[in-house]
Amino acid sequence: MEHYKNNRCRKMKLFLVISDSHGDMGCLKRIISQYPSIGSVIHLGDYYRDAVRLQNLYPDKEYYMVPGNCDFSVYGIPSEMVLKVEGLRVLITHGHGYGVKSGPGRIISRGLHDKMDVVLFGHTHMPMVHKSGGLLLVNPGSAGHPRSSFTSTYALLEIGNGMAEARIMEVL
């Protein structure tokens, strides 16, 4: 109880992180319906229009979205953005510009060079949560077209108290 008095314990911010939905709106609706109280959704591309559709269906939520390599009709929208959340810097990108299918080295270097705390990316369709040099690297996998032996997945990202944590969730 005392940590509330001295104001060291602040409220955590929770994000639903989705990537590579590839038109599977049914899957996205199932994910969103499981978390009615989550106020923020991040879509990491490959079917940017799915994120726009979600925004129209659930306008009470805050959306952050970037296009991916399959978003051919999206022009003039930045391919990445940096969010500042509870004092932490979060890079949001699809990941194809960093060659993430060959490994996370380039995107880790970018995150560390630009003093990011969290890097969110997709493109590989394979979920991952990894810490490297104080950097939290998160790939939610694919909500629409998983690869290999993975099922459809997404991530929950929690930021607060100067920390970030993520966990991969399977679509039910």
pLDDT in tens, 24-78: 999 999 999 999 999 999 999 999 999 999 999 999 999 999 999 999 878 889 9
Nearest to 82 by CA among 42, 49, 116, 52: 116
Domain count, the chain: 1
Q: d(Cα 40, Cα 70) in Å, to the nearest integer?
A: 23
The mean pLDDT of 99-124, rounded to a whole number, is 97
Strands, sheet with 128-132, edge to edge from the N-terminal-most edge strand: 80-85, 88-93, 118-120, 135-139, 128-132
CATH code for the domain in which residue 14 is found: 3.60.21.10
Enclosing domain of residue 69:
2-170
Q: What does pTM read for this prediction?
A: 0.91
Looking at residue 10, its pLDDT comes to 56
Q: What is the DSSP code string of 81-128? A: EEEEETTEEEEEE-SGGGTGGG-SHHHHHHHHHTT-SEEE--SS---E
